[in-house]
Structure 1
Amino acid sequence: MKVLPFTVSIVFAGLVSVAGAGGVMAQEDYDDYAAESVEPDPWEPVNRAIFSFNDTVDRFTLKPVAKVYDRVVPEPVSNSISNVFSNLGEPRNLVNDTLQGKFHAAGIDTARFLLNSTVGVLGVFDVATKMGLQRNDEDFGQTLGAWGVPSGPYIVLPLLGPSTVRDGGSRIPESFARYTYVEQVDHVPTRNTAIGTALVDTRASLLSREKLIRGDRYRFVRNAFLQNREFQVKDGEVEDPF
């Protein structure tokens, strides 16, 4: 998901990790995410301050809008909107699966994009999933991890939410790759409307999942994000720390 004029995923990026498909659930007393990471959060005081800022922005801007959206938009319509933006993300999955040597997954990505863009009416209907072609979720941060680049310390980016040094840095080459609809749409009002709709739709889908958060909100979101990123990079082949 890309940046709107002033925001993108805010703190709810952590909630995406909490409820990530096939991911792992954060444990409140779990403070590590990889065997080689002695201290995954060495900049915690700064990160907490940025997290608090992001959380405040979300609470007073994006979350209220998402609540209204959730109330007024019928579920079939919101599902169709989610399907459209998921379909627009398939080229990113295709590129990164190819870079990781996952050619079978890349073939699935291609088939999904072609089927949903045609039979699925520009992605409104996810016919590919119903045909047994499950969606992959890949980005360049995962590709770097697959290539052996360590994640580095946890960081919280202003307005962008949870990340790591590796994943934060991966945003730079991704911005030059131009494999998302954001880089392909030159008409600014249209682009911002699409980004805003995707952002609100995603935030609305996470409203009920906030109930999963227990204890220290910062720690819970951090652990959920780090555990889920390890799960994604290793394609689910992670050791149970317990």
Structure 2
Amino acid sequence: MGSVTDDQQIAFLPGSSACQSAPRRNRRYGAARFSTLVLSALTLAGCASMVSPKPKDPDALAEYEEANDKYEPLNRKMYNLSVWVDKYSMRPVAKAYVWAVPRPVRSSLGNMVRTMNEPVVFFNDVGAGKPRRAGDSFARWCINMTVGIGGFIDVAKYAGYPHHDNDGGLTLATWGIPSGPYLFLPMMGPSSIRDGIGYGIDQGLSPWNYVPRGYGLITFNWAYNIMGTINTRADHLDDLDQVQRDALDPYATIRSAYQQQRKAVADSIRNDHRATVPDWYN
């Protein structure tokens, strides 16, 4: 469950947008996540007890509609399960990782994960009809994969190409497709029907999913995904601890932060009307 940081994602457990780009293993993971979404949707459709009834009081109704969480009873159960599993699995591993690995190394690994996901950002920028953003994404990938030593150093940021977020769910949002009800997917965190579909689209857009076997790539895929997952969880260790410690209702806090952040990023993409030609060209 990432916090509102540069990752622009509230990811309750790592395994979300920051760790999307690895070939064979990630394809299985993407299928598993999409299957989880479909199963959750079927479960929700068949269980009336999982639906929060609409309140009749106008103020309560306005709050209900703003939360967009008609499946809150089930979502809270999935949240509590995820908190429990995280407490005894990923959190201890992330704390040991932070203790053992220096911050500069963790930062470099985060840069690599972000660079590996840059093609997905590029294709979504194209799909959103934002050629300037797509050009920036392409330039970032080329610079960081070469001068940045495979993405370990974010040279592109210093060259005038800072990272920006985009994914399938955000692209669908720019097309005007509604998010659908809020969902908390077990062990995967905050999402929605639209973002779940967008995640499936991203798996199809990632070129790393089409890299052939051999040359040690399977081993690299496993190492990359595992390290990316641990690194992402470690990046948000303090944020999640603070939410659990200080928030009156951590579930509602995470839900609100996730929804506000997704809307803010979608609006920023939609309102990006920069000229296609970079400033330095003029």
Q: CA deviation at 1:228?
A: 0.6
Task: Say if 2:164 is the partner of 1:136.
Answer: yes
In structure 2, do the counterparts of structure 1 residues 126 and 38 end up closer, same or farther at CA, with 3 Å as the change threshold?
Answer: closer
Deviations along 1:56-84, one digit per CA (max 9) or x if unpaired, are: 11111111100000001011111111111
**Aligned pairs for 1:3-22 within 5 A:** 12=1, 16=2, 18-21=3-6
The structure number with the bigger radius of gyration is: 2
- Contact 2:140-2:161 at 8 Å conserved across structures: yes
The SS at the match of 1:120 is: coil
CA distance in 2, matches of 1:88, 1:24: 17
Match in the other structure for 2:258: 225
- Contact 1:23-1:236 at 8 Å conserved across structures: no
- Contact 1:24-1:224 at 8 Å conserved across structures: no
TM value normalised by structure 2: 0.70
Match in the other structure for 1:184: 211
The SS at the match of 1:134 is: coil
AA of the residue aligned to 2:253: F
Match in the other structure for 1:73: 101
CA distance in 2, matches of 1:114, 1:73: 28
**Aligned pairs for 1:68-147 within 5 A:** 68-147=96-175
- Contact 1:50-1:157 at 8 Å conserved across structures: yes
TM value normalised by structure 1: 0.81
Q: Percent identity?
A: 32
In structure 2, do the counterparts of structure 1 residues 182 and 64 end up closer, same or farther at CA, with 3 Å as the change threshold?
Answer: farther
Task: Say if 2:239 is the partner of 1:209.
Answer: yes
Q: CA deviation at 1:216?
A: 0.6
Q: CA deviation at 1:112?
A: 0.7
Q: Which moved further from structure 2: 128-137 or 180-189?
A: 180-189
Deviations along 1:164-214, one digit per CA (max 9) or x if unpaired, are: 11111222333333x153553644443222111001001111112225421
Q: CA deviation at 1:23?
A: 6.4
In structure 2, do the counterparts of structure 1 residues 117 and 141 end up closer, same or farther at CA, with 3 Å as the change threshold?
Answer: same
More helix by share: 2
Aligned-CA RMSD value: 2.7
- Contact 2:148-2:155 at 8 Å conserved across structures: yes
Match in the other structure for 1:46: 74
AA of the residue aligned to 1:165: I
- Unmatched 5+ stretches in structure 1: 1-11, 26-30
- Unmatched 5+ stretches in structure 2: 11-58, 272-282
CA distance in 2, matches of 1:140, 1:219: 25
- Contact 1:128-1:134 at 8 Å conserved across structures: yes
